[in-house]
C-alpha cells in the first residue's frame, strides 16, 4: 500500500504533497479519466458515460444511486447516460471518488481504526445531511448529501498515509481535548484543512470545500451558507464515535440548538432526523455498496451507544444535583451572613443613638452643675431621667436582640426580610420593657400590704 511516510509531518509539507501528488489514494484509471473529463471545457454527458462504462463496479453504483429512493423517479434509469442526466455531473464525480476511496483497504490496520465504524459514521452524516436538506426544503438535497459524504476525507487521508502516527491519536497518547487538536499536535494540520485541500485538487465545488473545511467549527453560520450549516448539524447529530474524541453533551446540544435555529428547524424535526440516522446509514451503505457491517452488528453497537448516552446523562444529572445542593448551601450561608451584617448594622445604629442621647444629657447636666445653676438642673432633671431611661431601655433591647442573631450556625437570619424587620423587633422589645418598667414603678408606689396582696 502506498505511504507518504518519507514526507516530513508538518503542515507545509503535507499541503505540498497533496497539491503535487496524483496518487494520493491510488485512484484507478477510470476515476482519473473521469476527473479530467469533467474538467474540460468541451465536456459532455456522453463522453463521461463512456468512461464510467469502463468500470463495471462504478457503473453499478451510479445506476443504483440513480434508481434509489433519494431521487424518487417514476421511470427506472437503465443507462449511464440517463443516470448522468438524473444525478448531475457533481454527484457522479463525487460518487466516483467515494467508490474509489471508501474501501476497507484504504484504512490501514496499523491505524487502530475499524473501517466499518468509520464508514458507518461517514454515511450517518451523509444520510443526516440529506434528511436535513429535504426537511428544510432545500432546492438540491443531493448537494448536501455529497458534502456530507466527503466531509471526513481528510481523516481518510491520514489513516491511509500515516496509520502508525494516527494510532497515537486513537490511543490517546497525545495530550489534546479534541480530535483536531490531537491531529495538529502530531501533523501540524487537522483533517478539516487536509480535506479542503484534497477537494480543491479534485476541483470540487466551493460549497463542498467549505463544508469539509468548517464542519467542526461554528464560524460563518449565516443564511448564505446553508449547505455548510446542514453538514455541521449532521456532524453534531451523528457524533464521531470511531476516534474516541467526543464533544461534551452540553456543548454539543448548544451547537445543535444554534444550528437548528439558523436552519429554522423545530425540536421535533431534529428528533425525527436523529431517529432516522441508523436506517439512513444502512440504506445509504446498501446503494453505495459500502460495507459497514450486518444489521445485527450495527444494532448492537447502537444499543451500546444508547446505554453510554444514558450513563452520561445519569452522571450529569447526579453532578447537577450535587452542584445545586452545594450552591444552595453556599447561597444560604451567604444570605445568612449578609442578613446578619445588615441586622448588626441596624442594631449598632440604635446603640449609637442611645449612647449619644445619654452622653448628651450628661454633658448638659455637668454644665449646669459647673455653673452652679441647681434650680435649672432640678427643673430639667425629670426630663433628663426620662430620656436616660428610654435610652437604657433601647440598649437593653438591642443587647437582647444581639444575643439571638449572634450564633451564625443557627442561621436565624437566612433571608434579608428578617434583617429588615429589626425596627419592628426592637419596637416590640421596647414596648415590653416599657410595660414591665411601668408595672415596677406602679408596685413601688403602692402601700406594702397592697403590694403584697396584689
Give Cβ neighbours of residue 379 (< 8 Å, ≥ 6 apart): none
pLDDT range class, residue 439, cuts 50, 70, 90:
low
Share of the chain above pLDDT 70, in %: 78
pLDDT range class, residue 136, cuts 50, 70, 90:
very high
| Same domain assignment for residues 403 and 271 | no
At 308 the pLDDT is: 62
pLDDT range class, residue 37, cuts 50, 70, 90:
confident
| Same domain assignment for residues 267 and 356 | no
Residue 52 pLDDT exceeds 70? yes
Angle at 186 between CA 117 and CA 291, to 5 degrees: 15
| Same domain assignment for residues 158 and 199 | yes
Burial class (CB in 10 A: 0-12, 13-18, 19+), 313: exposed
State the Cα–Cα distance between residues 281 and 374, nearest whole angstrom. Answer: 108
At 305 the pLDDT is: 64
At 313 the pLDDT is: 60
pLDDT range class, residue 453, cuts 50, 70, 90:
very low
Residue 296 pLDDT exceeds 80? no
Cell digits of residue 41: 471545457
At 24 the pLDDT is: 67
Residue 270 included in any domain: yes
Residue 454 pLDDT exceeds 70? no
Residue 202 pLDDT exceeds 60? yes
124 or 103, which is more confident: 124
Residue 413 pLDDT exceeds 60? no
250 or 39, which is more confident: 250
Of 232, 122, 108, the C-alpha closest to 170 is: 108
Cell digits of residue 165: 502516527
**Cβ 192 vs Cβ 181: under 8 Å:** no
Residue count (the chain): 454
Angle at 25 between CA 227 and CA 42, to 5 degrees: 65
State the Cα–Cα distance between residues 289 and 267, nearest whole angstrom. Answer: 33
Residue 114 included in any domain: yes
- Choose the weakest-confidence range: 114-128, 213-227, 296-310, 417-431: 296-310
* Mean pLDDT of all residues in 13-20: 86
51 or 420, which is more confident: 51
| Same domain assignment for residues 429 and 330 | yes
Residue 135 included in any domain: yes
- DSSP, res 222: S
pLDDT range class, residue 425, cuts 50, 70, 90:
confident
State the Cα–Cα distance between residues 282 and 440, nearest whole angstrom. Answer: 96
Residue 59 pLDDT exceeds 90? no
| Same domain assignment for residues 343 and 247 | no
348 or 4, which is more confident: 348
* Mean pLDDT of all residues in 241-248: 79
At 189 the pLDDT is: 95
At 68 the pLDDT is: 76
Long-range contacts, stretch 418-427, CB < 8 angstroms, 24+ apart? 418/339, 418/343, 419/338, 419/339, 419/340, 419/342, 419/343, 419/346, 420/342, 422/342, 422/343, 422/346, 422/347, 423/346, 425/401, 426/347, 426/350, 426/394, 426/397, 426/398, 426/401
At 452 the pLDDT is: 36
- Domain endpoint, select from 254, 277, 293: 293
Residue 35 included in any domain: no
| Same domain assignment for residues 185 and 126 | yes
| Same domain assignment for residues 343 and 395 | yes
Residue 37 included in any domain: no
| Same domain assignment for residues 281 and 421 | no
Domain CATH for 241: 1.10.3210.10
Residue 402 included in any domain: yes
* Mean pLDDT of all residues in 362-367: 80
**Cβ 122 vs Cβ 280: under 8 Å:** no
At 73 the pLDDT is: 60
- Domain endpoint, select from 240, 260, 293: 293
* Mean pLDDT of all residues in 352-365: 78
Q: If DSSP codes are grouped into helix, strand and coil, which group holds residue 170?
A: helix
Q: Which domain holds residue 432?
A: 317-442
* Mean pLDDT of all residues in 416-420: 50
Count CB-CB contacts under 10 A for residue 240: 22
pLDDT range class, residue 133, cuts 50, 70, 90:
very high
Residue 38 included in any domain: no
| Same domain assignment for residues 135 and 276 | yes
| Same domain assignment for residues 282 and 200 | yes
pLDDT range class, residue 225, cuts 50, 70, 90:
confident
Give Cβ neighbours of residue 69 (< 8 Å, ≥ 6 apart): 283
At 54 the pLDDT is: 85
Q: Which of 189-198, 285-294, 334-343 has the highest mean pLDDT?
A: 189-198
| Same domain assignment for residues 333 and 223 | no
Residue 1 pLDDT exceeds 50? no
* Mean pLDDT of all residues in 210-236: 88
Say how far residue 291 (Cα) sits from the centre of its chain. 33
Residue 80 included in any domain: no
- Domain endpoint, select from 259, 293, 327: 293
**Cβ 179 vs Cβ 240: under 8 Å:** yes
| Same domain assignment for residues 265 and 361 | no
Count of structural domains within the chain? 2
* Mean pLDDT of all residues in 14-25: 77
Residue 405 pLDDT exceeds 70? no
Helix H or strand E segment including 92: helix 89-101
Amino acid at each position: 500500500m502506498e505511504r507518504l511516510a518519507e514526507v516530513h509531518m508538518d503542515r507545509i509539507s503535507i499541503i505540498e504533497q497533496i497539491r503535487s501528488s496524483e496518487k494520493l489514494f491510488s485512484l484507478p484509471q477510470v476515476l482519473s479519466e473521469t476527473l479530467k473529463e469533467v474538467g474540460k471545457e468541451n465536456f459532455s454527458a456522453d463522453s463521461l458515460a463512456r468512461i464510467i462504462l469502463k468500470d463495471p463496479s462504478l457503473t453499478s453504483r451510479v445506476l443504483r444511486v440513480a434508481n434509489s429512493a433519494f431521487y424518487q423517479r417514476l421511470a427506472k434509469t437503465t443507462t449511464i447516460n440517463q443516470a448522468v442526466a438524473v444525478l448531475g455531473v457533481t454527484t457522479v464525480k463525487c460518487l466516483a471518488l467515494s467508490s474509489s476511496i471508501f474501501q476497507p483497504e484504504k484504512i490501514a490496520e496499523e491505524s487502530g481504526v475499524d473501517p466499518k465504524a468509520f464508514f458507518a459514521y461517514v454515511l450517518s452524516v451523509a444520510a443526516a445531511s440529506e434528511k436535513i436538506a429535504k426537511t428544510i426544503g432545500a432546492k438540491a438535497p443531493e448537494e448536501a448529501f455529497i458534502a456530507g459524504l466527503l466531509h471526513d476525507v481528510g481523516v481518510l487521508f491520514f489513516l491511509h498515509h500515516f496509520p502508525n502516527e494516527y494510532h497515537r491519536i486513537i490511543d490517546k497518547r497525545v495530550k489534546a481535548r479534541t480530535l483536531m487538536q490531537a491531529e495538529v499536535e502530531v501533523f501540524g494540520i487537522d483533517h478539516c484543512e487536509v480535506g479542503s485541500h484534497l477537494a480543491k485538487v479534485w476541483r470540487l465545488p466551493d460549497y463542498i470545500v467549505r463544508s469539509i473545511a468548517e464542519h467542526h467549527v461554528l464560524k460563518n453560520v449565516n443564511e448564505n451558507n446553508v449547505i455548510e450549516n446542514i453538514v455541521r448539524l449532521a456532524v453534531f447529530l451523528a457524533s464521531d464515535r470511531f476516534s474516541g474524541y467526543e464533544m461534551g453533551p452540553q456543548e454539543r446540544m448548544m451547537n445543535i440548538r444554534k444550528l437548528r435555529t439558523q436552519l429554522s428547524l423545530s425540536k421535533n424535526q431534529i428528533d425525527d432526523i436523529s431517529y432516522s440516522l441508523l436506517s439512513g446509514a444502512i440504506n445509504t451503505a446498501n446503494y453505495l455498496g459500502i460495507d459497514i457491517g450486518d444489521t445485527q452488528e450495527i444494532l448492537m453497537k447502537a444499543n451500546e451507544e444508547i446505554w453510554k448516552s444514558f450513563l452520561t446523562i445519569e452522571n450529569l444529572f447526579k453532578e447537577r444535583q450535587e452542584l445545586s445542593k452545594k450552591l444552595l448551601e453556599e447561597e444560604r450561608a451567604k444570605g445568612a451572613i449578609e442578613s446578619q451584617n445588615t441586622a448588626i448594622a441596624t442594631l449598632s445604629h440604635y446603640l449609637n443613638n442611645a449612647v449619644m442621647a445619654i452622653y448628651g444629657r450628661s454633658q448638659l447636666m455637668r454644665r449646669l452643675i459647673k455653673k452652679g445653676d441647681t434650680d435649672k438642673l432640678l427643673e430639667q432633671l425629670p426630663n433628663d431621667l426620662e430620656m436616660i431611661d428610654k435610652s437604657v431601655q433601647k440598649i437593653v433591647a438591642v443587647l437582647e436582640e444581639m444575643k439571638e442573631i449572634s450564633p451564625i450556625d443557627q442561621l436565624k437570619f437566612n433571608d434579608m426580610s428578617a434583617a429588615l424587620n429589626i425596627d419592628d423587633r426592637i419596637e416590640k422589645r421596647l414596648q415590653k420593657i416599657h410595660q414591665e418598667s411601668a408595672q415596677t414603678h406602679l408596685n413601688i408606689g403602692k402601700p406594702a400590704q397592697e403590694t403584697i396582696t396584689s
